[in-house]
Amino acid sequence: MMNKTAPIGVFDSGIGGLSVLKQLIRFLPYENYVYLGDTARVPYGNKSNTTVKQYATDCASFLLSKKVKLIVVACNTVSAVALQSVKDIAVDVPVIGMIEPAAAAALHSTNNGRIGVIGTRATIASNSYKNAIIGLAPDNAVQVYSQECPLFVPLVEEGMMQHPASHIIAEEYLSLLISQKVDTLVLGCTHYPLLSPLIRDIMPNTSQIDSGEHSAVAALRLLADNQSLADERKEFLLKHNIEFYVTDYPSHFHAMSQNFLGFEIDTPQLVELTNE
Amino acid sequence: MMNKTAPIGVFDSGIGGLSVLKQLIRFLPYENYVYLGDTARVPYGNKSNTTVKQYATDCASFLLSKKVKLIVVACNTVSAVALQSVKDIAVDVPVIGMIEPAAAAALHSTNNGRIGVIGTRATIASNSYKNAIIGLAPDNAVQVYSQECPLFVPLVEEGMMQHPASHIIAEEYLSLLISQKVDTLVLGCTHYPLLSPLIRDIMPNTSQIDSGEHSAVAALRLLADNQSLADERKEFLLKHNIEFYVTDYPSHFHAMSQNFLGFEIDTPQLVELTNE
């Protein structure tokens, strides 16, 4: 059985996964966390599946060495192309990815059966969201329209969430989904929740699905089912217990963590990952 | 002494260095080339100096194993922060970076003594161009104004060289340099020559310095001085002799190589780099 006091392990190619950690803390405030960002090899989104699988298992091995009770793959690209590779090495620890919880939420949200998905090139090319949504739906009940948005990550990392250039680019990326009259849009990348207000300006009547939020709810349910939730500790409501690790010190890390997480974090510890 | 028939080694974090290879072929059409793109760890521009030095020496070691007669560091970021690390391991092989040749060309080009430099965040933060230009100039003869342009690389990689959003972003990035009345602008990143027409629209009276072009001229001069130029072989004017290596297969590689190099190349060979 799981150890209630063991930490939840969270990893991402970089710091985008902090938007997922933010949601985990919201639903699971009494837990200990270990967060790993593979900032020496970021981004994963334009690399081959073979390379992403190798990097993902390197990250998961590190978290397993920290005796985590659950691994949250806080990266849509890894969830799309390498979730099984992570599960294969995490034999005694459950693994939650980004895709399945958001796919279920999108199906629950739609009224007209027309769902849009946006993500990195690798996530969209994998068809993981489309397959997951269609796999959950009754025959022909939904149509899924996918759109890659490769510039959204660099725009967010430059803090240009409300910039006129970002607006022009977002209008282009979203034009197909608007013409297809989707009523639900999956934000299939951990950076995209920061663009939620911009997307709402362009698609005001579309429900947005934050993949991090729904994965956090899935984590809550899984730990509750296993009677492995940490006990309530009031002091955690004021000060979180998070160990942060990175493989390289990224530039303007503190400003970025503030944007993604909502609060500044201490300088993370540097680790070197070893190949499996 | 150098072996005339040995290849010239060229490396970059990814495929941007192909714009430098294009210039090398222009000035040195009869040479054999080995090109390495470290596409599994691209980009270097937002990583720490320690990590960039490690990656750069990994790349240089690979080229040395191919018995190259010259190493061209076809990456401004590596040239700015890790050129000495490459020289330290390439004890018997000369090394040419991007910075010094372009700095000399900028000084030669300016009439009003006001020079602009654009580059990635890491290149600009290093002050390498500024220090190189001022180091070559008589006392107080020039003013150097630097501007980081972090979105130019992703915009080029998306093929948006003439897009309205790119125009808005470029106008913002270049506004300080325009107000400082620079008459010469160093394109301090291998991706930026592809934005040359866009930049000319915004700064029509400014001379652009292509760092790859001037490094290629420096390579020609160095090989001539050492009597190590390859003999003229007419067949090379029709078919170049280039070995291409990458550490990961990048997405839409062929379209990108066409953009950077001017012709499509064969599928590169995959190599794994070993740490020094």
Domains of chain B, CATH where assigned: 8-97+213-270 (3.40.50.1860), 99-211 (3.40.50.1860)
B271 contacts chain A (CB < 8 A) = no
What confidence tens digit (pLDDT) does each residue in B151-206 have? Answer: 999 999 899 999 999 999 999 999 999 999 999 999 999 999 999 999 999 999 99
Contacts of B158 in chain A (CB under 8 A): 150-151
Token pair of B184 as six digits:
């010469």
List A207's β-bridge partners, or say none.
Answer: A184
What confidence tens digit (pLDDT) does each residue in B103-138 have? Answer: 999 999 999 999 999 999 989 999 999 999 999 998
For the cut 60, the answer to whether the pLDDT of residue B1 exceeds it is no
Alpha carbon of B182: minimum distance to chain A alpha carbons (Å): 25
Q: Do B151 and A150 touch (CB under 8 A)?
A: no
Average pLDDT in chain B = 94
Beta strands in chain A, from DSSP E residues, in sequence order: 8-12, 32-37, 70-73, 95-96, 114-119, 143-148, 184-187, 207-210, 241-246, 269-270
Which residues, in sequence order, are CB contacts of A269 under 8 Å at separation 6+? A243, A244, A245, A246
For the cut 70, the answer to whether the pLDDT of residue B275 exceeds it is no
Q: Which residue of A has its CA nearest to B151?
A: A154
A121 contacts chain B (CB < 8 A) = yes
Alpha carbon of B165: minimum distance to chain A alpha carbons (Å): 5
Q: How far apart are CA A219 and CA A94, in angstroms?
A: 10
Q: Do B150 and A165 touch (CB under 8 A)?
A: no
For the cut 70, the answer to whether the pLDDT of residue B245 exceeds it is yes
What confidence tens digit (pLDDT) does each residue in B55-89 have? Answer: 999 999 999 999 999 999 999 999 999 999 999 99
Q: How far apart are CA A265 and CA B173, in angstroms?
A: 30
- Proportion of chain A in helix, strand, coil states, percent, rounded to 5: 45, 15, 35
Contacts of A169 in chain B (CB under 8 A): 165
pLDDT band for position A257 (50/70/90)?
Answer: confident
Contacts of A162 in chain B (CB under 8 A): none
Which residues, in sequence order, are CB contacts of A76 under 8 Å at separation 6+? A98, A99, A119, A120, A123, A188, A189, A190, A211
For the cut 90, the answer to whether the pLDDT of residue B22 exceeds it is yes
